[in-house]
Amino acid sequence: MTVSSRLLTAMNAQHTGESLAFLVTIDHVNLNAPFRFTDQSQRLSSDPLAYGIVSRSNTFDYLPLTLSMPEDKDGVPSRIQLELDNIDRSIVALVRSERSPATALIELVLEEAPDTVEAELPDFDIVSADYDATVVRLQLFLSNLNQVAFPKDKFSPANTPALF
């Protein structure tokens, strides 16, 4: 994965004015439009008052969130826990009504250059959800990871005789 020179400079600087933002997109076949939100806030409008980030012509609304990345252990599935403040009841309505999993896309951008995606975590399925009056906890699972054969080829005397 390559990153922009702007991010590379910011990562190597002792002090920097650059800040990273997570852009989260939750989509489902039964949604009219995907949910888009971010953990960083820039004032987008005064009337109505709105905060968020515009990236590639898509508005990501500000919503306090926490991402817990998966542990790097053998035999542990790649799960990300996404915690959202429960200020918009539409996410809870989606969780309650759907039996098929929604998908989640997580992107990392510089807040000052939001149209350049620095890193992307695609193809996560939302496999479980827990919520209360203040927070929604979503478990994201990389579903196709267990279906990818590794190594890609089988080493046998027929196709790799030099190994035997």
Q: What is the pLDDT of residue 92?
A: 80
| Rounded to 5°, angle at Cα 120 from 118 and 124 | 165
CA pair distance 59, 23, nearest whole angstrom: 10
Q: pLDDT tens, 21-46?
A: 999 999 988 888 899 999 988 899 99
Find the mean pLDDT for residues 74-97: 79
**pLDDT averaged over the chain?**
83
| Rounded to 5°, angle at Cα 10 from 7 and 13 | 150
pTM of the model: 0.78
* Identity of the highest mean pLDDT range in 55-59, 112-116, 127-131: 55-59
Q: What is the pLDDT of residue 146?
A: 53
CA pair distance 40, 51, nearest whole angstrom: 9
Among the listed residues 96, 82, 99, 63, the one whose alpha carbon sits nearest the alpha carbon of residue 140:
82
Residue 41 near residue 50 (C-beta atoms within 8 A) = no
